[in-house]
Structure 1
């Protein structure tokens, strides 16, 4: 069988049958057959970033201007500060004085001490009345003292009261004790402060009568 002649020319590429046909724009069907939505278009590329240039010939961004310093508050004159200080000290002193005055006025009466003595002893006299004096020292406030006398030869006495005025720092309380008959005796007199605070004091009372 005779051989076919060999053709050394290259063969052309295969022809695309769709190259010569206008392809329709792709569509997406939603709902009914008459509703069409064109395919989404590609998003726009982002704007290019801001360009910064460096080098000679490029103007330099000016530095921000410095802020103006805040104006200092005006200082008060020295004499005004001195007057303000003196006024504050005077007000404080006035408050202290008023407080002490009110405290003294409202403070209740207090007994600081008490003592008992016989200023004029009976001596050798017969049938005599002796005064037994109790001296009470207070804080000078007004109020009422409650006290009671005790005699060694009798039952306790009744509770008595004494009104004390404002500023009266010394109060005198007197017990009159009568002695009679012939003989010698040494008795004891004692006072008991009941109010405003319990306090006691006492002394001896001597009686000597020698009749012939």
Structure 2
């Protein structure tokens, strides 16, 4: 449940997901179209310099958009409401690639379309002197038309006080390709081989060559199309909600935009005039139009805290680029998901054959978001069951389940083996096994 129902004219829904930056909420903009709202973790935004660097990063994204470089989820504004800082987007950030993998799966042609478009977006960023820094299934967004967008560009690095690098993007893209290749097991061998080859090409010859390798191998995929992606995205999307009428507008308190044009007023409240109307963001338009409030009967003295806040945010915006350029000590890292070990847990008592035996596997990860491909192996038949699991940011332990139906009669023992297929360090195996007894 969201603590507030709206922010800066965006109506918040109950669909949320937690990332390392904070909490994303599906939202509906003032025009009735779907958007997104990221409430930054207050503990993160309270760290020295973080807010400045986040603002500078978003301003850089806006400059990219003005230069005609697309592929990023467009940011409408970054606003402060009391102690909260929100990033508002004009397009939804769901479904992500992780969402589609966990709910619908992904066919090879659709996966290739995502990889090709992701590579193209990254190439455009790199040519502009920027990088994404945190490419994984949770930041790859599927638009309603089936196209690919990237969210959270540079934000994870801004929080850590480091610069996103093109080489890290290439490594992340290759990891994404390998993760997708591992999804199908032996059901699509030609597509699996093509994706593995593209991943290797990316690390040795770059993203452009990897993209071309995918396009050249379309015979292994069939037609590379967005059709299924678009269908899945439309199935995921909630119906548009009509804009809230003026009579139903609730007081959201004072909202301050952090992405304001230098020289104009910083504070947005009912009836506060400002210049540069043609450059106003959604939050500015809402507050400057007064939202149908009646002016107070007499002029009241502006609270000192409001003046201080306005001055503070003016300093933040004015110094954001300088702080970001000078940076600070590079700390932390933006690494892809890794599974350090697995543990298989089986029932201690002898199992009957009247119902499936529940076997659980505990995955220990590094807390990063991503997709894990794993397989169960059953000793009675040698059958291998391959599955894919999308892991959320911050989760260091994840449980997967195998329901094992025992065929036959008598007594005996069976062994369940859980093996990680991807991601796995080169030359290393990550697996575990456990044995249980049955009495049929």
Q: TM-score range by the shorter chain?
A: 0.3 to 0.5
TM-score (norm 2): 0.24
Whichever structure has more helix as a proportion of its residues is: 2
Whichever structure has more strand as a proportion of its residues is: 1
TM-score (norm 1): 0.48
